[in-house]
Structure 1
Amino acid sequence: MTMTSCFQKVLISNRNIFVVNLAIADLVVAIYPYPLVLTSVFRNGWNLGYFHCQISGFLMGLSVIGSIFNITGIAINRYCYICHSLKYDKLYSDKNSLCYVILIWILTFVAIVPNLFVGSLQYDPRIYSCTFAQSVSSTYTIAVVFFHFMLPIAIVTFCYLRIWILVIQVRRRVKPDNKPKLKPHDFRNFVTMFVVFVLFAVCWAPLNFIGLAVAVNPDTIIPRIPEWLFVASYYMAYFNSCLNAIIYGLLNQNFRREYKRIIVTICTAKVFVQESSNDAAEKMKSKPSPLVTNNNQVKVDSV
């Protein structure tokens, strides 16, 4: 099977490719930044140098912006699939879906790169990590809050409101019969991603509002923000990366089924390997010794 055919099979379910990208965005912080944060906690300070600080902060920002952009992409995808289902196959063909995913990551990189020039990626001893410093540039902080949080949240809210209106119409049977019907599994998938969006907005809202307040009037607001409030809002925001898998497991039956199938397959494979090894050992033990023939007979001459 060629690489192209494998990739085409993955793209057959183009609705799920955005969910996969959301999972990748959540995993980015677990690969590099979080281990460095733990090291900083154990050493009670950052001792890994400027380069690792910049890379850690960059990847954290990449994860955050990638998550919100992918959540926005999922909301637009669900909106097109449910509210404009007749045009969906054309809008989200395999080629178009791949282009959308590439565009999301390009926009994510473009959104993070200015941090390297502004100098806003700094170590914060309150949270033991290198992250975006809200007080470095008021203009940039306002732009970050607006373009990376408020605008995506507004787009996602519009999409889900339109979907909820359609759901209510279908439930009350006021929608014309010539329009596509909302299937039960489509509704369940929509509810799952809606909960993911709500949790993301709730978890990230406090930190973004603090950043917006600091950007508007840093000299007055910064001394008035309690340290515990900033720390709680920060860890609340990054804890959101752990919640998505829990939501999928609780609300998505297919996710639970596939997860169970993977676990069973892994366990079965281990048992099969062990049994094969034991069988091979038993066969070696029970294997009869070779027959003595004239060719291999050992002759003992008397002295």
Structure 2
Amino acid sequence: MNQSYMWANSSDSVDITTGTRINYWPQFGVLQYFEFAYIVSIIALGSLGNLVVIFSIILDKKVHSGGNIFIINLAIADFFICSITLPCIAVTIIKTKRVVDDIFCEVVGFIVTATCACSLCNLALIAANRYWAIVKSSCYRQMFSKRAGLCLAMSAWIWSIAITMPTVLGWGDIAYDAKSLICGWHDAASLSYAIFLIVIAVVLPLGTIIFSYYNIFREVRSSLQDVRSLGKRSISSQSSRSRSLTKERNLVYTLMTTVVVFFVCWTPYAAHALVNPSNVKPHVKKVLVWLALSNSCVNFIIYGVMNQAFKKRYKKLFNFIFQCGKCDQSASMQLGYASANS
């Protein structure tokens, strides 16, 4: 790591793009309380929300159906960001200085870079899964068998780690960014790596997503028109097929919304990384990075608001948790009563 990226153990931080010492905390005031509250809210909502997504699917025994393995994989990546990366920012805000050493910073920075790449890779896999389920349904079971799904889910992590590895080998860098208070990919270290990372980690998955959902919408619309054209010739068949297509369309809309929100959160940061990463003002950089990381807590909400299947899964999980709590409380009371009478 270059000396210009090093930092001092004081209230001052070092700007990784210029090597100059800067101080963002002349005094701990209202802004810092707001920043701390915001980050803690993202940590709590993102960590708990992604765990709810994971365990609600597992409890429903639907891990290997409907591309849920990739939704779980996405939730795991988002959980890592909320539980590993964001707590470091929260502590930094409170301490008003950098709190992690160089080695830990490189580990955390590598994790956040790889998990962000993995998130988009999983969004592409989800889109591809729905494409084969709806447009190429005859081949779906062969393409997305239980074993194939597991292999693809693991491949998403291998892929993400592989495209992040150049930062360890000298192409690009992982460093602490005093402007955004985060250890992560140093977006001003190498323009060539920035272009490589955005093309491989963003453009290619985005192309897959656009192609998949465009063809899915065409297929669903065409199928609904065919169902309506049946008229009264087969009412029961028409109703069943219509319900199936409506359910599939609702799921597609839900998943497509996660993609749109992802790009709303990440596009400003990606544009800044390509255009002018060195001269951006500290608070602007903080807003761009924190907006991007905030995406890790929203999928849980999108699933619950837009999709009936996930609403039922959430309800089932919460009922299971609270019923177990009541059973444990009842068992404890009975044990205490028995002990008192013995």
Which digits, 9 at most, give the CA deviation of each residue in 1:169-216, with x for residues without a partner?
A: 223338999xx98622221111111000111111111111111113xx
Stretch moving more, 35-44 or 64-73: 35-44
Which residue in the other structure is 1:114 paired with? Answer: 166
CA shift for structure 1 position 155: 1.5
Which residue in the other structure is 1:3 paired with? Answer: none
User: TM-score, normalized by length of structure 2?
Assistant: 0.74
Q: 1:277-292 to 2 correspondence within 5 Å?
A: 277-287=332-342
Amino acid of the structure 2 residue aligned with 1:44: T
The structure with the larger Rg is 1
Amino acid of the structure 1 residue aligned with 2:110: F
Which residue in the other structure is 2:39 paired with? Answer: none
Q: 1:164-203 to 2 correspondence within 5 Å?
A: 164-173=217-226, 183-203=245-265
Percent identity over the alignment is 26
Which digits, 9 at most, give the CA deviation of each residue in 1:243-276, with x for residues without a partner?
A: 1111011112222212122222222222222222
Among 302, 318, 321, the residue aligned to 1:266 = 321
User: Is 1:131–2:193 an aligned residue pair?
Assistant: no
Q: How many corresponding residue pairs?
A: 271
Which residue in the other structure is 1:297 paired with? Answer: none
Amino acid of the structure 2 residue aligned with 1:281: G
* Partners of 1:141 and 1:211 within 8 A in 2: yes
Which residue in the other structure is 1:77 paired with? Answer: 129
* Partners of 1:169 and 1:175 within 8 A in 2: no
Amino acid of the structure 1 residue aligned with 2:176: Y
SS at match of 2:298: helix
Tell me, in whole angstroms, the C-alpha distance in 2 between the residues paired with 1:175 and 1:212. Answer: 48
Contiguous gaps of at least 5 residues in structure 2: 1-57, 231-240
Tell me, in whole angstroms, the C-alpha distance in 1 between the residues paired with 2:64 and 2:181. Answer: 43
Tell me, in whole angstroms, the C-alpha distance in 1 between the residues paired with 2:73 and 2:163. Answer: 17
Amino acid of the structure 1 residue aligned with 2:133: Y
Among 60, 64, 67, the residue aligned to 2:119 = 67
Q: 1:1-303 to 2 correspondence within 5 Å?
A: 12-13=64-65, 15-117=67-169, 118-173=171-226, 183-214=245-276, 222-223=278-279, 225-287=280-342
Tell me, in whole angstroms, the C-alpha distance in 1 between the residues paired with 2:183 and 2:158. Answer: 23
Which residue in the other structure is 1:293 paired with? Answer: none
CA shift for structure 1 position 29: 1.3
Cα RMSD for the two superposed structures = 2.3
* Partners of 1:14 and 1:94 within 8 A in 2: no
Tell me, in whole angstroms, the C-alpha distance in 2 between the residues paired with 1:14 and 1:109. Answer: 26
Tell me, in whole angstroms, the C-alpha distance in 2 between the residues paired with 1:189 and 1:140. Answer: 36
Which residue in the other structure is 2:233 paired with? Answer: none
Tell me, in whole angstroms, the C-alpha distance in 2 between the residues paired with 1:11 and 1:236. Answer: 30
Tell me, in whole angstroms, the C-alpha distance in 1 between the residues paired with 2:174 and 2:157. Answer: 20
Alignment CA distance shift 1:47-1:281 (3 Å)? closer
Stretch moving more, 91-100 or 15-24: 91-100
* Partners of 1:18 and 1:101 within 8 A in 2: yes
CA shift for structure 1 position 34: 1.7
Which digits, 9 at most, give the CA deviation of each residue in 1:43-84, with x for residues without a partner?
A: 222132101110111111122001000001101111111111
* Partners of 1:142 and 1:212 within 8 A in 2: yes
* Partners of 1:45 and 1:125 within 8 A in 2: no
Larger relative contact order (CA 8 Å, sep ≥ 6): 2
Q: List 4+ stretches of structure 1 deviating above 6 A.
A: 174-177
SS at match of 2:134: helix
Amino acid of the structure 2 residue aligned with 1:245: F
* Partners of 2:265 and 2:295 within 8 A in 1: yes
Tell me, in whole angstroms, the C-alpha distance in 1 between the residues paired with 2:228 and 2:189. Answer: 52
Amino acid of the structure 1 residue aligned with 2:150: L
SS at match of 1:48: coil
User: TM-score, normalized by length of structure 1?
Assistant: 0.82
Tell me, in whole angstroms, the C-alpha distance in 1 between the residues paired with 2:79 and 2:86. Answer: 10
* Partners of 2:180 and 2:282 within 8 A in 1: no
Which digits, 9 at most, give the CA deviation of each residue in 1:68-105, with x for residues without a partner?
A: 00001101111111111111011111121122112211
